[in-house]
């Protein structure tokens, strides 16, 4: 049997990434929350970024790490809070980019992981809500 040298990958488009950012910024304006938003491609590389004028500077890095964590494992970031409590997963808690708090979601389209979305600026519940609304509004797969 021949060796397979490549595989087909799916990546989020810049246009779709921008639509997610605009949806989160709109939600933030409605809730009076200054969000930072990061969208990573499926390889964990920054595809697009947005930040409300009033957003605290640390929210930029946190949004990026939430998006990275979500697309790295294809799971929402809030699940990591309990996962790193398990002894066999605890060493991952020391990874400098692992963000075990709500507001990061993998982006799936037609069943394929195409990226990650990270939202930071509110409480973790507000970050999660804004991310879920943006993913739903833009038509990505439901988790």
User: CATH classification of 14-137 is 1.10.1270.20, yes or no?
Assistant: no
Beta bridge partners of 105: 117
SS3 state of residue 30:
helix
Question: For the chain, which residues make up each domain, given as ranges?
Answer: 14-137
The torsion angle over the Cα atoms of residues 95, 96, 102 and 107, rounded to 10 degrees, is -80
Provide block-wise average pLDDT over 10 residues at a time, the chain (143 residues): 84 97 98 99 97 98 98 94 77 80 96 97 98 96 84
Confidence (pLDDT) at 92: 75
- 113 vs 142: CA distance, rounded Å: 12
pTM above 0.85, yes or no: yes
Question: What does the pLDDT read at residue 84?
Answer: 73
């Amino acid at each position: 049997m021949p060796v397979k040298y490549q595989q087909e990958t799916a990546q989020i488009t810049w246009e779709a990434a921008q639509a997610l950012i605009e949806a989160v910024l709109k939600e933030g304006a409605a809730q009076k929350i200054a969000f930072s938003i990061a969208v990573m491609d499926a390889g964990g590389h920054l595809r697009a970024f947005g930040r409300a004028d009033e957003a605290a500077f640390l929210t930029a890095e946190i949004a990026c790490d939430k998006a990275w964590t979500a697309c790295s494992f294809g799971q929402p970031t809030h699940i990591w809070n309990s996962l790193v409590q398990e002894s066999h997963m605890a060493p991952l808690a020391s990874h400098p980019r692992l963000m075990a708090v709500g507001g990061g979601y993998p982006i799936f389209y037609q069943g394929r992981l195409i990226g990650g979305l990270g939202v930071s600026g509110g409480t973790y519940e507000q970050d999660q809500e804004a991310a879920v609304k943006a993913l739903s509004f833009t038509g990505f797969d439901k988790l």
